[in-house]
Structure 1
Amino acid sequence: MSENRQPGPAGRPPTVGDVLALPVLAGGDPRVVAGEEHLDRPVRWVHITELTDPASFLKGGELVLTTGMPLPDDWAGVRRYVDELAAVGAAALVMELVRRYHRPPDALVRACRARGLPLVTLARDVNFLEVTQVVHTLILGHQADAMRRTQRVHEAFTALTLRGAGPEEVLRAAAEMSGRTVVLENLVHRALACEPSGTTAQAALTDWERRSRTTPATDRPGVSGPEGWLAAPVEYQGERWGRVVMLPRALPAALPGRDFGPEDVTVLERTAMALTIARLTRPTPWERTAHRNALRDLVEQRHRSPADARARVAALGLPAEHVRLVAVLADLPPERDGEATEFRLSEELTATGVPALVGLLSPGRLGVLLALRPARPWREAVERVARAALDAAPGARVSVGAPAGDLADVARSFREAARVAEATEPGRPLPAGRSFHERADIGLRRLLYALRDDPRVQDYAERRLGPVLDHDARHGTDLVATLRGYLDAAGNKTVAARSAGLSRETVYQRLRTIERLLGGDLESGEQRTELHAALHAVDALRAPPVAPPPIGTGPGTDEFSPGPRS
């Protein structure tokens, strides 16, 4: 009999269609003559009857087996017979065409079609007791499997909670268990985290706010809205904070919600509970960490596709099309609280109505992505951001990359801002009329400062100026200062002597010593240029060490761990 024990898909009870495919019934040559569209009804039990009123013994979900012997002869009796089966929720009526009937009565077919009750005829004799035994074994086996799966769900979410898992890890577990896309949103319908399953973030999140607003909130896990979302509330300190949503696998063609089973509800309930506990135990608002992860994904280009990236940032409330996108970095002084600065800057931008993502990219580096109307002067908006950052963290260095016309170019804009930051030594005065630095500010001196750790720059400085530096170190002289004054005066010895407060003869003597040590001619414009560059390199090498963290490195306390992106 093992050949008859073929369950339906894991995670749901057998349906009418599953049962009809079992060999024990397939041998009777079953034919569906009514209610074909309802073969997905779950079968809770099998009931053999030869009564004229079998519905009084049913509770719903039964597969009713009959030889047709008790079927009334009159049309009204047949209709009453079918109405009672449909009203009690019978899964289907299976009638054997061997003894009383050899074709299904027209009245029975019409009544079943009218009530949407599947009617299945068997052309050959079937052992109903064997059908009952096989299907009941299948149902009981499914129930035992369901209990074991439910236990595994509870154990998995308990382990996540005890481990202090963040929202993305909880959502990832829910998506893996259910095989469905799971989304976490707050009260203003911002999708803070999305774990796609069998689809893309673009398909799940496109036009998210509008779709979410058409899906009413529920006090407990339930299906609602035109798309048939399964949703559960997430609370914080006894108040509703947001909700977690499980999306159906297919478009809701006819019956939204029929796509979900009891195990999906269990998974979503435990997901909501785990998120509620995580929200209580984590101090950082999840909106902040959602912004951080969105920015890091853009900077490191971890999205599956540009369309996914657009859908994710749009679901966070940032326009991604028909805008000018500007990347801003603020490197904070070591003593400043990065999270406090992040919060204050975010509040400032929200209050002024500037759409932006604001988040710590690393412990000492704050990233901002502005979405501006193409006609709006972007430097004006960046100046506002820079002033707000300097007010929140005096001593911060604000750098900006060139505006990007598309989200795909944002990573380039952030890289450019990072290069500007690398070329800006601490304490460098701000450009006139500005509170930020940009690429146009980088001259030779700042370029060499940015390249100061490159061995080739170090080797060049040593080759060109090493003998003079060594002489000053051994003899206590100050030839480098004399050379600097001479080069700053564009080779005018008189101006150099006046600036240094020395006699011309002293300057001449020192310059001859420098020429002897370097084996060169200081009257050569090319050599003066080379020495000037070498002096800038020496200045850069002597500058205080600054090591801003990489823009893709996190502070280690994120609520949403970015994790690998497939």
Structure 2
Amino acid sequence: MSENQRRAPVPEGRPLTVADVLALPVLAGGDPRVVTGRDHTDRPVRWVHITELTDPASFLKGGELVLTTGMPLPDDPAGVRRYVDELADVGAAALVIELVRRYHRPPDALVQACRSRGLPLVTLAKDVNFLEVTQVVHTLILGSQADAMRRTQRVHEAFTALTLRGAGPEDVVRAAAEMSGHTVVLENLVHRAMVCEPSGSTTEAALTDWERRSRATPPADHTGLRGPEGWLVAPVEYQGEGWGRVAMLPGPYDSAASPVFGPEDVTVLERTAMALTIARLTHPTPWERTAHRNALRDLVEQRHRSPADACARVAALGLPTEHTRFVAALVDVPAAADTARIEVRLAEELSATGAPALVGLLGPSRLGVLLALRPSRPWRQTVERLSRTALGPAPGATVCAGSPATDLADVARSFREAARVAEATGPEQPLPPDRSFHERSDIGLRRLLFALRDDTRVQEYAERQLGRLLDHDARHGTGLLTTLRGYLDAAGNKTVAARAIGVSRETVYQRLRTIERLLGRDLESGEQRTELHVALQALDALRGR
């Protein structure tokens, strides 16, 4: 047997089909022609059976490619129909008849019977060695089965390794998508997509209109095909109760009318569901919280492939994305606070008030919140409620909000604003009289310099402007810096400055002359007074005042 005769034009992992067998050199030499059932040549071939019996079906189990010279075929049309019916009933893959000995064209009765039953009928115009056909095909089938067993073993080993190292749901779903080449989605009982790993498509294509599509896909207590799109689904449990399910989606060019998932895909999904069930028991953080955290981080860091992907993902988590105004808020809690408990409390409070939101940890002591509000809803009232909810269990918390964004593509900007407000807000920063959170309009010169306190340019400016004065006070125990501060705070009014620092007006005059000499500045100049005032503000920020 030549190497060409052994070689199968079959992709790895797919069963041998009728079309594959007909393309083999050992059969192609017989000039095969598909007379009926061309649409069914994708049927898998389980075995090859040579027969010259009038009732071959009694020796078949289904999936066989039946080879015959046509010698035993009945002469009467009724007998031919019975012969074909028995083959079709047992599930034969195809009937191959050689037109060399008895027939030189297929009998009309045979063609009609095969066509009516949808059985592929293939004619061979030239003599073919049937024994060699069986040897080649059986070798390929057995080799494919051995390969399939090895691949299945690799699947089991991969998921066992994931379970042993405590992999989370994202790792498990990603592995399933990589092994199967299909998009895999994990959802909970209320049809929120917790994890989506696209393969061959985009997040947008996988998750658009997710809840409606998922609800059209009936639940199941075992792995199987479900719904109008032909999803392969498997249940995921938690402590013996249903928690949700994992779904493997057909590819963008697959048809729900034809099978697109093989036995290996079923194995992958079953092991995925098992690994997720175990992971659900070993990971204390609810997966809904993990999904919110990951979605928020991706929005903040703009890690989505496109704005459409971002919209599809947050919508699949239950957040409205159309006719919506988004507001980003950051909650910085004291180091000793229970951030996980505050995270859950915020999520529950917002849900109870009908404010759709993503809530999740962005850092060890920082919570991120993305509010999705109707444009007519006052956003500051919602942020105020959010802030008071956070301040309850964590009195020292600081809440900062960015300005509203009209779409998800602008959410990262809102989070950046909130982060800049937080940078400019010290731990003891007083709140405005009418609210319990900070926003961009609160940031004046003092808070701006506080945010920039680690910038070496600010540090160098303060030192260059005030260094000589600070050195003089340190060496001589004088209070020139205090005098300068009082004078500048009094907007250059020496009488007011003297009263504020508790010295005589003449003493203020004397000290101001000394300050001008040390610094080489003219304190009568409004511009120079402004420069020194900024330097004092920067010095206060550097000293944490």
**Fold equivalence (TM over 0.5):** yes
Note the alpha carbon deviations across 1:402-432, whole angstroms, 9 max, x for none: 2111211111111111111111111111112
Match of 1:153 in 2: 155
Aligned with 2:392: secondary structure?
helix
Match of 1:439 in 2: 440
Mapping for residues 371-410 of structure 1, pairs under 5 Å: 371-410=372-411
Alpha-carbon shift at residue 250 of structure 1 (Å): 4.5
What is the CA–CA distance in structure 2 between the aligned matches of 1:412 and 1:30, rounded to whole Å? 65
What is the CA–CA distance in structure 1 between the aligned matches of 2:393 and 2:323, rounded to whole Å? 31
Closer/same/farther in 2, CA of residues 529 and 254 from structure 1, 3 Å limit: closer
Contact 1:226/1:252 (8 A) holds in 2? no
For 2:148, the aligned partner's letter is A
Contact 2:48/2:65 (8 A) holds in 1? yes
Alpha-carbon shift at residue 3 of structure 1 (Å): 0.9
Aligned with 1:145: secondary structure?
helix
For 1:486, the aligned partner's letter is Y
Alpha-carbon shift at residue 502 of structure 1 (Å): 2.1
What is the CA–CA distance in structure 2 between the aligned matches of 1:203 and 1:269, rounded to whole Å? 24
Match of 1:137 in 2: 139
Note the alpha carbon deviations across 1:265-287, whole angstroms, 9 max, x for none: 11111111111111111100011
Runs of 4+ in 1 over 3 A off after TM superposition: 250-254
Aligned with 2:219: secondary structure?
coil
**TM-score using structure 2 length:** 0.98
Match of 2:234 in 1: 232
**Residue identity (%):** 80
For 1:184, the aligned partner's letter is L
Aligned with 1:392: secondary structure?
coil
For 1:227, the aligned partner's letter is E
Match of 1:101 in 2: 103
What is the CA–CA distance in structure 2 between the aligned matches of 1:11 and 1:440, rounded to whole Å? 61
What is the CA–CA distance in structure 1 between the aligned matches of 2:256 and 2:166, rounded to whole Å? 40
What is the CA–CA distance in structure 2 between the aligned matches of 1:372 and 1:114, rounded to whole Å? 60
What is the CA–CA distance in structure 2 between the aligned matches of 1:378 and 1:107, rounded to whole Å? 78
Compare relative contact order (CA 8 Å, sep 6+) and give the higher one, 1 or 2: 1
Match of 2:331 in 1: 330
Contact 1:324/1:371 (8 A) holds in 2? yes
Match of 2:473 in 1: 472
Aligned with 1:72: secondary structure?
coil
Note the alpha carbon deviations across 1:50-102, whole angstroms, 9 max, x for none: 11111111100000111112222222222221111111111111111111111
For 1:294, the aligned partner's letter is A
Contact 1:227/1:251 (8 A) holds in 2? no
Match of 2:22 in 1: 20
Mapping for residues 458-537 of structure 1, pairs under 5 Å: 458-537=459-538
Alpha-carbon shift at residue 392 of structure 1 (Å): 3.2
What is the CA–CA distance in structure 1 between the aligned matches of 2:356 and 2:125, rounded to whole Å? 69
For 1:222, the aligned partner's letter is G
What is the CA–CA distance in structure 2 between the aligned matches of 1:165 and 1:408, rounded to whole Å? 31
What is the CA–CA distance in structure 2 between the aligned matches of 1:189 and 1:215, rounded to whole Å? 11
What is the CA–CA distance in structure 2 between the aligned matches of 1:191 and 1:493, rounded to whole Å? 68
Match of 2:366 in 1: 365
What is the CA–CA distance in structure 2 between the aligned matches of 1:27 and 1:235, rounded to whole Å? 54
Paired positions, count:
543
For 2:516, the aligned partner's letter is E
Alpha-carbon shift at residue 255 of structure 1 (Å): 2.4
Alpha-carbon shift at residue 321 of structure 1 (Å): 2.5
For 1:261, the aligned partner's letter is G
Match of 1:302 in 2: 303
What is the CA–CA distance in structure 1 between the aligned matches of 2:393 and 2:62, rounded to whole Å? 65
What is the CA–CA distance in structure 2 between the aligned matches of 1:237 and 1:208, rounded to whole Å? 26
Unaligned stretches of 5+ in structure 2?
A: none
Mapping for residues 32-43 of structure 1, pairs under 5 Å: 32-43=34-45
Contact 2:228/2:256 (8 A) holds in 1? no
**TM-score using structure 1 length:** 0.94
Note the alpha carbon deviations across 1:362-395, whole angstroms, 9 max, x for none: 1111101111112222212222222222223211
What is the CA–CA distance in structure 2 between the aligned matches of 1:279 and 1:307, rounded to whole Å? 30
Alpha-carbon shift at residue 154 of structure 1 (Å): 0.7
Match of 1:126 in 2: 128
Moved more, 95-104 or 245-254: 245-254
Closer/same/farther in 2, CA of residues 409 and 234 from structure 1, 3 Å limit: same
Q: Which of 111, 115, 131 is equivalent to 2:113?
A: 111
For 2:233, the aligned partner's letter is A
Note the alpha carbon deviations across 1:109-131, whole angstroms, 9 max, x for none: 12212111111111111111111
Contact 1:344/1:392 (8 A) holds in 2? no
Q: Which of 71, 74, 78 is equivalent to 2:73?
A: 71
Closer/same/farther in 2, CA of residues 227 and 26 from structure 1, 3 Å limit: same
Note the alpha carbon deviations across 1:120-166, whole angstroms, 9 max, x for none: 11111111111111111110000110111111111111111111111
RMSD between superposed Cα atoms in Å: 1.3
What is the CA–CA distance in structure 2 between the aligned matches of 1:365 and 1:446, rounded to whole Å? 20
What is the CA–CA distance in structure 1 between the aligned matches of 2:297 and 2:413, rounded to whole Å? 13
For 1:52, the aligned partner's letter is T
Moved more, 171-180 or 280-289: 171-180
Closer/same/farther in 2, CA of residues 5 and 249 from structure 1, 3 Å limit: farther
What is the CA–CA distance in structure 1 between the aligned matches of 2:282 and 2:264, rounded to whole Å? 27
What is the CA–CA distance in structure 1 between the aligned matches of 2:184 and 2:399, rounded to whole Å? 37
For 1:355, the aligned partner's letter is P
Match of 1:450 in 2: 451
Closer/same/farther in 2, CA of residues 488 and 254 from structure 1, 3 Å limit: closer
Aligned with 1:360: secondary structure?
strand
Mapping for residues 268-283 of structure 1, pairs under 5 Å: 268-283=269-284
For 1:240, the aligned partner's letter is G
Note the alpha carbon deviations across 1:241-269, whole angstroms, 9 max, x for none: 1111111125564625x111111111111
What is the CA–CA distance in structure 1 between the aligned matches of 2:518 and 2:485, rounded to whole Å? 16
What is the CA–CA distance in structure 2 between the aligned matches of 1:291 and 1:527, rounded to whole Å? 51
For 2:422, the aligned partner's letter is A
Alpha-carbon shift at residue 437 of structure 1 (Å): 1.0
Contact 2:229/2:256 (8 A) holds in 1? no
Alpha-carbon shift at residue 448 of structure 1 (Å): 0.7
Match of 1:555 in 2: none
